[in-house]
Amino acid sequence: MKTLSLLFVLFVVTLTAQHPPANGSAFSAERLARLDTVLQQYVDENRLAGAVALVLRDGQPVYERAVGWSDKEAGRKMATDTIFRIASQTKAITSVAVLSLVEEGKIGIGDSVSRFIPAFATTTVAVRKDGGGPGSPGNIDIVPAKRPITIRDLLTHSAGISYGTERDVASLYEAKGLGPAAGMGWYTADKNEPICNTMERLATLPFVAQPGEAWVYGYNTDILGCVVERASGTPLDEFIRARITGPLGMKDTQFFLPANQRERLAAVYASGSDGKIVRAPDGPKGQGNYVDGPRRSFAGGAGLLSTARDYARFLEMIRNGGALGSVRILAPRTVQLMTTNQVGTLHSTTGLGYGLGFETTDRYGANGMDPQGGFGWAGAYSTTYRVDPDARLVLVFMVQMLPNATDTRTKFPTMVYQALVEPK
């Protein structure tokens, strides 16, 4: 009888860990169960190998679920502490690193990038010739930039710097070991050189818009990673560990994974022609070099690995105005700059803006049920996150699909919000 009682207690503890009780009456348990059903359906239909979904309210989990497989071929089930490649979710962490140095007076938001990387003193822009068709550098004129690129330009992605994917400049980037032909543009984990070397080479290439005139997604935050190294005199991985992930207790967030933790890293999948998952290949366009690689390029734009719980701690710090518990990373005014639209309508004319590291929602309905004042972003491996200051929520969704080929990351926040029944 005692054995049966003990088994029952263990069952209840396990169930509670996977599905923590809703925070008061804010969430309907019945409606949250719909998210279980949707995620499991994607796994059962072989459209998703596995996922981890996590929702915090007031810093406490109201939903945490690991579903499916972290590595289907190896028979490893997904776990809540599985490690994921977070790609562009790295950008928010690097932006915090930059702004922490701004707070110390070592960097000015209005500083020219050339103060830290002299190669950026004279940048150029590729301009399409009148009547020229796309396809080769012969169809562009390369002209001087109208003004220096600033730290603010990089933080807001308004520097005119892309990933070199445009047909007009792609071959120029390829010749310098950058752009999609050299991997996937944003991917540098296979590079056997420090990130500053790569960014100095980038400075010699033409960019695709004049500084301040367009919102262009690209190497901006990788450049900022080099700026952090130059301003602090510390490698980016050490700086982030000492100033952000270490103090916040983000023990599983790093650029490269120790070999003895290899099995904690989720496998990457892609969608086949029939919509069913297929295992992605080794190398840059698949599994990557995050365990067996040179381990020299600390890409501030797309290089980190993390877990749902770790990344949620980082976001909770931001939601709390720069502090988590007794640890303060940024001042509240700095966080307000990060999470307020700083680019007007450059990023979007339909209600989305961009701050100093986060996309912002400026109108309800511009991004699903995301509220005005919400913010977040996503990663190339189909991960995503949102923060809702009004409802005191942090939403993190981790999967490994490359290229982005699943709609689960747009369905996830919808399924969370339809379960939020507490009136405002």
- The answer to whether the beta carbons of residues 396 and 312 sit under 8 Å apart is yes
CB contact set of 227 (below 8 Å; sequence gap of 6+): 98, 107, 113, 116, 117, 151, 154
**Residues comprising the chain, all counted:** 424
CA distances from 332 to 11, 38, 100, 337 (A): 42, 37, 12, 9
Q: Which residues partner with 54 through β-bridges?
A: 64, 396
Residues marked as catalytic: 88
Angle between helices 195-202 and 220-232 (to 10 degrees): 120
Tell me how far apart the alpha carbons of residues 242 and 252 are, in angstroms, rounded to a whole number.
14
How many other C-beta atoms are found inside a 10 Å radius of the C-beta of residue 106? Answer: 17
How many other C-beta atoms are found inside a 10 Å radius of the C-beta of residue 161? Answer: 27
- The answer to whether the beta carbons of residues 49 and 262 sit under 8 Å apart is no
Q: Which residues partner with 60 through β-bridges?
A: 57
| Local structure of 88: helix, strand or coil | helix
- The answer to whether the beta carbons of residues 255 and 195 sit under 8 Å apart is no
- The answer to whether the beta carbons of residues 181 and 250 sit under 8 Å apart is no
- The answer to whether the beta carbons of residues 218 and 162 sit under 8 Å apart is yes
Tell me how far apart the alpha carbons of residues 245 and 256 are, in angstroms, rounded to a whole number.
14
Tell me how far apart the alpha carbons of residues 232 and 275 are, in angstroms, rounded to a whole number.
47
Q: Counting Cβ atoms within 10 Å, is residue 75 exposed (0-12), middle (13-18) or buried (19+)?
A: exposed
- H or E stretch including 279? strand 277-279
Tell me how far apart the alpha carbons of residues 222 and 227 are, in angstroms, rounded to a whole number.
9
As given in the structure block, the two tokens for residue 375 are 């913010």
Phi first, then psi: give them for residue 81, nearest 5 degrees.
-105, 20
Tell me how far apart the alpha carbons of residues 18 and 64 are, in angstroms, rounded to a whole number.
6
